Structure 1
Amino acid sequence: MSAPALPLAHPRRWSREWRWRRLRPALRQLALLVLDVDGVLTDGGLWLDPAGALQKRFDVRDGLGLKLLQRSGLELALLSGGQGGATEARARHLGIRHCLVGIRDKPAALRALQASLECPPEQTALVGDDLNDLAVRPVVGLLLAPADACRPLRHQADAVLQRRGGHGAVRELAERILQARGDWQALRRGGWRDRND
């Protein structure tokens, strides 16, 4: 009697993994990772306290992923149309020097940042979740999206993450970048010896 056939991987999962493998050379060459905030680093919800102060929830695992990327030499930037103080506080907490908030024209702001850092578009990736992030497509080498990004962005993104914004999408991407750069195995074996922010 022959052994039962093993189930094949789900075609969508296989397709998604193939897409990420194809992107490994581009992930390895990244010099600048730009993140939208609301819907990428947060779940997109906005909380207002009784005084009207804006509060946001950030995922600590995303924070550690960003610290690991900084340690590997990747320049990070936050690029958001929103403002209110929480984003700036999170950037300071993580040591992210480039925190652009209240931005109306994301492509123009991103081009200015690239010029100041002397970073070409092909070495720039942006993670976004909505139509205002889709506008940066012409000025980045990679456009990436969390699982719950709007449909037009997911369809035009180079790859879509499995996790939702504010719930580990950035950490998932950080691990993929570190794998592409050959830095992930040592972290898996030896762990991390600093704070988990």
Structure 2
Amino acid sequence: MRRLLREWQWRQQRPALAALELLVLDVDGVLTDGGLWFDPAGQLQKRFDVRDGLGIRLLQQAGLNLAFLSGGKGGATEVRARQLGIAHCLVGIKDKPVALAQLQQQLGVTSATTAFLGDDLNDLAVRQQVRLLLAPVDAARPLRRQADAVLHQRGGHGAVRELAERILQARGEWQSLHRHGWRDRND
């Protein structure tokens, strides 16, 4: 029953997904599984899903602006952002709504064309600034309940890739990729 409800939610959001100009991603619990690993020297290490990375690249090639917005720090996020060509990697952010508003103003994007994928209570704070508040299936219950739609995948395990495919499907761009594959155009 939950799966049917989730699919109904996604069908309702197709027009908003097609109109997106900015997708903002929380990091810990969305791009990662939320675990924090430290090496013997005390350096933070995080695990990122390679399929999420390709999903990000597909969205970039489709012309979508992407940003990372995280309260955490540690260096791994910045490295991943550079690898993926994410120009807006905002880390160590204490007030997500203020940082998001500044980013939207900088890019000339409105809340009507912005989506945010988050996983916990601190992500609820951006609700009024986005058209779509989205969550991985393992997000905190209060966020899942207030989200416009909930993904089937867990954070750090394909949630971003699933969202990328849904956005590209809503835009009518997925069928060609699905049929012919993808080549990095290095643009």
TM-score after normalising by structure 1: 0.92
Q: 2:69 aligned with 1:69, yes or no?
A: no
SS in 2 for 1:77: strand
* Equivalent residue in structure 1 for 2:85, among 95, 99, 123: 95
Match for residue 174 of structure 2? Answer: 184
Letter in 2 for 1:166: G
Whole-angstrom distance in 2 between the partners of 1:31 and 1:39: 23
The CA deviation string for residues 41-100 of structure 1, in whole angstroms up to 9 with x for no partner, is 000000011111000000000000000000000000000000110000000000010000
Identify the residue that residue 59 of structure 1 maps to in structure 2.
Answer: 49
CA deviations over 1:116-137 (Å, ceiling 9, x no partner): 0010001000000001001100
Structure 2 Cα separation of the partners of residues 156 and 136 of structure 1: 12
SS in 1 for 2:152: coil
Q: Describe the superposition over 1:129-165 as per-residue Cα deviations: whole angstroms up to 9, x where unpaired.
A: 0010011001111000000000000000000000000
One-letter code aligned to 2:101: R
Report SS of the residue matched to 2:139: coil
| Map of 2:34 onto structure 1 | 44
**How far off its partner does 1:13 sit?**
2.2
Equivalent in the alignment of 1:17: 7
- Counting matched residue pairs gives 185
Q: Secondary structure at the match of 1:144?
A: strand
Quick check: which has more Rg, 1 or 2?
1
Q: Which amino acid aligns with 2:75?
A: G
Residue 152 (str. 1) matches residue 142 (str. 2): yes
Unmatched tracts of structure 2, length 5 or more: none
Q: TM-score, normalised by structure 2?
A: 0.97
Q: How far is 1:12 from its partner?
A: 2.5
The whole-number CA distance in structure 2 between the counterparts of 1:13 and 1:118 is 36
The Cα shift of 1:193 comes to: 2.2
Q: Which runs of 4+ in 1 moved over 3 A?
A: none
Q: Equivalent pairs: percent with the same residue?
A: 75
Output the CA distance in 2 between the equivalents of 1:168 and 1:20.
17
Residue 168 (str. 1) matches residue 161 (str. 2): no
